[in-house]
Amino acid sequence: MSTANEFLSRPSFRQARWLREQLRDETFGGVLLIVAAAIALVWANSPWGDSYLQLIDFQVGPESLGLNLPLGVWAADGLLAIFFFVVGLELKHELVVGSLSKPAQAVVPAAAAIGGMVVPALIFVVINVSMDGGSTKGWGIPMATDIAFALAVLAVFGRRLPVALRAFLLTLAVVDDLGAIAVIAVFYSDKFSLPWFVAAIAMFIIYAVAQKMRWTSPFLYIPLALLAWYFTHESGVHATVAGVVLGLLTRVKADPGEGESPADRLAHRIHPLSAGIAVPIFAFMAAGVDLRSIGITSALTEPVAIGIILGLVLGKPIGVFLGAWITATFTRASLASGIAWRDVTAIGVLAGIGFTVALLIAELGYEENLLLLESSKLAVLAASLVAAILAGIALTLRGRHYAAISAKEEIDADGDGIPDVYQEQDPR
């Protein structure tokens, strides 16, 4: 039985079931993401590398609407808006009915997520201020966690990871993504236009009213979403912001007699599209670092690259651990039975895989400096690989312990389809 002052306690059966559904799509998407990135990297450095660059720069779209954009921009601004819409849905779920819905239980994971953003950013800034040739424009790059890539690592090394730790990882990733989108909106948007921004706000208000009025027609919501995206794009605020705002405005509690809420219905339909198509295509468009002219060594010895690698590989686990430990100490929160601080640190190491959003911020921060752009992208790839290896080692060392907890979570002595531990803790 969990208490209000317990950190990393097992979620309810209903929440655990929702969590498994969300993470299943992300795991498959993570495999596709890694494959897409590998193909892009090989193609960009092959004898046919110029054709890859031509593909990324190929422009398509209506010129009259100001949307004749390169395919790489469409992937970043368009496809990732779908990804961030799913992030918004997940965050709304966490805030209303999930691990962030109760302040007493939310404070430690929220502090861990914040620590996991602040410490990597500080490490990046310190390195780039103190080294010749440094640039602090990319300080937001090592902030985010790529949940899909992280779950692909779990599928290999942490298949029996307790559900409480999986929930903690998802909370870290979702809060990190929210922080990253806020950073993008404030620091990586340009040419702000108030009229277009007001028009976008109007679309958000209409969407919120439609949700409150329980309107369900896709003939209303699809045009609203498209207009909200377009107005946000034209306002100078990065278009992906529209996705997360619409997700946060979606109703997450089902009405009496309603099978599932709009947020759950949309998540079931759009999550596979995001994880299986949108994110892998973006990874393919963004991960093709051309090393033919700069070389791996020179790219990874740039202060920007060093800051990203140290920020993700060291800053993430340090920030996650310190954020959680300091907050737990002051709030007198205790770890749940079977969970140790080394497990929190292991999840922090896993959170150092900062792929999708990190690549997006790299493109926004260094789009006008090819050397720093390629260096930062390569650093994100290298850091994510190192973090994945270190996380695999940490999870393997705790494998037997996790397997014992997982086996207990699966016991269903009465055969009613609900594991006994959830009935002891929460009969739902």
**Structural domain boundaries in the chain:** 6-189+238-411+418-425
pLDDT tens digit sequence for 327-359: 999 988 788 878 889 999 999 999 999 888 899
pLDDT tens digit sequence for 365-390: 898 888 899 999 999 999 999 999 99
Q: What angle do CA 316, 318, 323 make, to 5 degrees?
A: 95
User: Is the model's pLDDT at 404 over the cut of 60?
Assistant: yes
Alpha-carbon distance of 302 to 135, in angstroms, equals 10
For 217, phi and psi rounded to 5 degrees? -65, 125
User: Is the model's pLDDT at 251 over the cut of 70?
Assistant: yes
Dihedral sign for Cα 334, 339, 341, 343, please: negative
Alpha-carbon distance of 88 to 251, in angstroms, equals 11
Residue 9 pLDDT: 74
CA distances from 25 to 17, 22, 29, 44, 86 (A): 13, 6, 6, 28, 12
User: Is the model's pLDDT at 120 over the cut of 70?
Assistant: yes
Burial of residue 389, with CB atoms counted within 10 A of its CB: 0-12 exposed, 13-18 middle, 19 or more buried: middle
Residue 428 pLDDT: 42
Alpha-carbon distance of 408 to 208, in angstroms, equals 42
Question: What are all long-range contacts of 128-131, with beta carbons under 8 Å and residues at least 24 apart?
Answer: 128/303, 128/304, 128/307, 131/303, 131/306
Alpha-carbon distance of 288 to 408, in angstroms, equals 44
- The H or E element spanning position 334 is strand 334-335
| DSSP letter, residue 294 | T
Alpha-carbon distance of 142 to 369, in angstroms, equals 18
Q: What angle do CA 353, 354, 360 make, to 5 degrees?
A: 155
Answer whether CATH 1.20.1530.10 is correct for domain 6-189+238-411+418-425.
Answer: yes
Burial 320-344, CB ≥16 within 10 A → b, else e: bbbbbbebbeeeebebbebbeeebb
pLDDT tens digit sequence for 220-239: 999 999 999 999 999 998 89
Q: pTM, whole model, 2 decimals?
A: 0.87
Residue ranges of alpha helices (H) inside 45-102 are 49-57, 71-73, 80-96
pLDDT tens digit sequence for 3-54: 556 777 777 777 777 777 777 767 778 889 899 999 999 999 999 989 999 9
pLDDT tens digit sequence for 295-316: 788 888 999 999 999 999 999 9
292 Rama sector, left if φ>0, alpha if ψ -120 to 50, beta otherwise? alpha
CB 33 within 8 A of CB 355: yes
Residue 4 pLDDT: 53
Dihedral sign for Cα 347, 156, 278, 210, please: negative
